[in-house]
Amino acid sequence: MLTKLRVMTTTAEPAVFSLELSDDQRAVRDWVHGFAERVVRPAAAEWDEREETPWPVIQEAARIGLYGFEALAQFWTDPTGLSLALASEELFWGDAGIGMSIMGSSLPVAAIYSAGTPEQLGEWVPQCYGTADEPAVGAFCVSEPNAGSDVSSLRTRARYDPAKDEWVLTGQKAWATNGGIAAVHVVVASVEPELGARGQAAFVIPPGTRGLEMGSKLKKHGLRASHTADVFLDDCRVPGTCLLGGKDKLDERIARAREGARGNGQAAMRTFELSRPTVGAQALGIARAAYEYALDYAGQREQFGRPIIENQAIAFALADMKLEIDAARLLIWRASWMGRQGKPFDAAEGSMSKLKAGEVAVWVTERAMQILGGNGYTREYPVERMHRDAKIYTIFEGTSEIQRLVIARAISGMQIR
């Protein structure tokens, strides 16, 4: 039976939905793309082979204003939330290893921004970046050898010394981006281990602090232009003012936790949901770069007297690659927009976007290698590097399994294990 359509008469909500980028957003996208194309791409293979932090490229990014808090703040303040995703996609389209060397400092900066006081923000954020002539990097150290996905079980301890108003940190951090070479390390440590994640706090370790040592620099499968290392903290003493947010706030939080009051788990989850679309956008940039390369190659490479793209097997693979990339981008834009509008992430939409983009990046870069055949497998062509770079996106910032866990819990309301 046909039902009569209800005529929508309400005018309370204006119709503002649009996928059209504004002039400002196009300007951000084109600016970062220009830098990625002109400076990042040509340097990508060299720094991947060298497995070193590409300081000259960071310096160039700092010179044009792309590396520093001002750029990040400009992206953050876009009322639609899309600018950081746009910039990340373009930068990582240029190269992911170099992209991570440039964007890696935004991790400690985001931690200082979300947990720190205005004074801490003013003091430490500029030091994470250094100056255009002498850029520095920052590191955010949470993971430990025995605490990766399960960050509630951190063993690094922070003990307060009231006589000196100092914190003393001891422990080992693992896989830290920029670990040991950073000017500023933000370290998450346990103050009250029996309270799990609710007994943890974040500390700034100022440049040159004694007791902080870099472990061995890790040799990686991909993202090789980005420095990754373990960090050892051996009775590492920092002033009381290095506790992000201050001691009164921490004492209050711990007292509440001891009384059995419910923790602000929702707020912690929201923080992850807010940052995950940006990580997804990085993966998206890699996927798009590989897709574009393969599309171009397939139009030029001839076998059996015709371009290989004239075979459905190749053309359909490229169609599917484009489809998956666009689907991932829509999820990223949705989650970025929701975050900026303060919408609740009822279905863990931020996790969805990172999960999808990470898996798309791995799949698309593998397809691109297949389309390039033997050439795709060599370091003469960039897609094997892109494939190596893509893989980390199903592992860090929450593995794919952890993203599925978060989504499953959000949609079911159950404690899925």
Ligand X SMILES: Cc1cc2nc3c(=O)[nH]c(=O)nc-3n(C[C@H](O)[C@H](O)[C@H](O)COP(=O)(O)OP(=O)(O)OC[C@H]3O[C@@H](n4cnc5c(N)ncnc54)[C@H](O)[C@@H]3O)c2cc1C
Instruction: Enumerate binding residues for ligand X (CB under 6 A).
Output: 107, 140-143, 148-149, 175-177, 220, 223, 228, 392, 395-396, 399, 401-402, 405
Handedness of CA 341, 345, 347, 348 (dihedral sign): positive
Q: Smallest distance, Å, CB 118 to ligand X?
A: 25
Residues 360, 324 contacting (CB under 8 angstroms): yes
Q: Smallest distance, Å, CB 93 to ligand X?
A: 19
Say whether 236 sits in a helix, a strand or coil.
Answer: strand
Catalytic residue (one of 60, 90, 144, 397): 397
Q: What is the dihedral of CA 393, 398, 403, 406, to 10 degrees?
A: -170
Question: What type of residue sits at position 205?
Answer: I
Q: Smallest distance, Å, CB 401 to ligand X?
A: 3
Q: Smallest distance, Å, CB 15 to ligand X?
A: 41
Distance between CA atoms of 324 and 287, rounded to whole angstroms? Answer: 9
Instruction: Closer to ligand X by CB, 228 or 351: give it.
Output: 228
The token pair that represents 288 in the structure block: 């798009």
Spell out the alpha helix ranges (H) of 23-105. Answer: 23-35, 41-50, 55-63, 69-76, 83-94, 96-103
What is the DSSP annotation of 204-219?
EE-TT-TTEEEEEEPP
What is the DSSP annotation of 245-290?
T-HHHHHHHHHHHHTTPPP-HHHHHHHHHHHHHHHHHHHHHHHHHH
Phi and psi (nearest 5°) for 191? -95, -40
Instruction: Closer to ligand X by CB, 283 or 298: give it.
Output: 283
Q: What is the dihedral of CA 141, 147, 150, 155, to 10 degrees?
A: -90
Strands 166-177 and 157-161, how do they pair? antiparallel
Instruction: Closer to ligand X by CB, 83 or 177: give it.
Output: 177
Q: Smallest distance, Å, CB 189 to ligand X?
A: 12
Of 102, 113, 252, nearest to 177 by C-alpha is 102
Distance between CA atoms of 164 and 6, rounded to whole angstroms? Answer: 71
Distance between CA atoms of 99 and 310, rounded to whole angstroms? Answer: 34
Distance between CA atoms of 94 and 392, rounded to whole angstroms? Answer: 17
Instruction: Closer to ligand X by CB, 217 or 270: give it.
Output: 217
Instruction: Closer to ligand X by CB, 51 or 292: give it.
Output: 51
Going by the DSSP 8-state scheme, the letter that residue 397 receives in this structure is S
Residue matched to tokens 């040159």: 208
Q: Smallest distance, Å, CB 149 to ligand X?
A: 3
Say whether 180 sits in a helix, a strand or coil.
Answer: coil
Phi and psi (nearest 5°) for 344? -70, 140
Instruction: Closer to ligand X by CB, 362 or 392: give it.
Output: 392
Q: Smallest distance, Å, CB 10 to ligand X?
A: 44
Residue 166 among the catalytic residues: no
The residue of the chain with the least Cβ separation from ligand X equals 148
Instruction: Closer to ligand X by CB, 324 or 397: give it.
Output: 397
Q: Smallest distance, Å, CB 114 to ligand X?
A: 15
Decide: residue 111, CB within 10 A, 0-12 exposed, 13-18 middle, 19+ buried: buried
Instruction: Closer to ligand X by CB, 220 or 329: give it.
Output: 220
Catalytically active residues are 397
